[in-house]
Amino acid sequence: MSIGAEVAAHLPYLRRYGRALTGSQKTGDAFVQATLEAALADEALADSLRGGRVPLYKAFNKVWSSAHMEIESAQGAGGAHEAAAQDQLKRITPVNRQALLLTTVEDFTPAEAAEIMEIDEADVDALVREAVGEIERESATSVLIIEDEPLISMQLEDLVKSLGHEICGTAATRTQAQEVVAEKTPGLVLADIQLADGSSGLDAVDDILAIESVPVIFITAYPERLLTGDRPEPTYLITKPFQEDTVRAAISQALFFRSSRPLD
């Protein structure tokens, strides 16, 4: 397999990481592009990318670490929405966010995250604990769970409640989601894509977003339906079967930005 084909297989997930790290699809994609351009200009770097996801993310993090302060200081250029997100970023140490995202959302081991960030494995564990502590200071909210598998729905309910949030309702179909939202608009939505009666979690989420902009986390066995590059992609996308720590981190991230739509 060529280097290009190997890297292409990982790009949707690297783009997801860039979006979550920066709070902006445009900014995250710019860092991904800069990483690929650096690889094209450096034969040794390009060859290292044959090693899979770890060297690719390591290359990305070198680019991001050298430039992220400039992005933070230029927040006014992206409008009020992006400026607000960047203000949120200043409330948590950037390296803490890196460690948290790498070991939860991106599912790297602490040892792999340490290699990516070029620090000790013990430091990764400490950074993750600090990040969780900083993010979980966010105020509690109400959560709507759109999931047609009862056991998974119950698992998500327990997890959400353990974080101090309340459940405003659960839904197995688009119609049930509409009924819940008619009574109370949630502060966060956890949504599957394929629902019990053949309806779509995507449509259910669109119904909600037409009423009010709230953070949404998609939890699905079909991530390829959303990671296409053909349209703005969700910042928070978790693949089934999931780890509870991954969902916990995504909830904290979504509430941290108070938004789930990529920033332009």
H or E stretch covering 146: strand 142-146
> Which residue(s) pair with 108 in the sheet?
none
The architecture of the domain spanning 1-75 is Orthogonal Bundle (1.10)
> Which residue(s) pair with 170 in the sheet?
145
Q: What is the pLDDT of residue 249?
A: 82
Q: What is the pLDDT of residue 75?
A: 43
Q: Name the segment(s) of the chain with CATH classification 1.10.1740.10.
A: 1-75
Q: What is the pLDDT of residue 155?
A: 96
Q: Is the pLDDT of residue 127 over 60?
A: yes
Q: Which long-range CB contacts under 8 A does 153-157 form with residues at least 24 apart?
A: 155/244, 156/190, 156/219, 156/247
- What is residue 256's three-state secondary structure? helix
pLDDT in tens, 145-181: 999 999 999 999 999 999 889 999 999 999 999 999 9
Q: What is the pLDDT of residue 262?
A: 41
Percent share of the chain, pLDDT over 90: 42
pTM (two decimals): 0.55
DSSP assignment string, 149-161: -HHHHHHHHHHHH
State the burial class of residue 207 (Cβ atoms within 10 Å of its Cβ: 0-12, 13-18, 19+): middle
What pLDDT band is residue 69 in, cutting at 50, 70 and 90? very low
Q: Name the segment(s) of the chain with CATH classification 3.40.50.2300.
A: 142-246
State the Cα–Cα distance between residues 202 and 92, nearest whole angstrom: 31
State the Cα–Cα distance between residues 64 and 252, nearest whole angstrom: 22
Q: What is the pLDDT of residue 88?
A: 54
Q: Is 142-246 a domain of CATH 3.40.960.10? A: no
Give me the mean pLDDT over the 248-256 stretch. Answer: 81
Instruction: Round the average pLDDT of the chain to a whole number and report it.
Output: 83
State the Cα–Cα distance between residues 198 and 104, nearest whole angstrom: 30
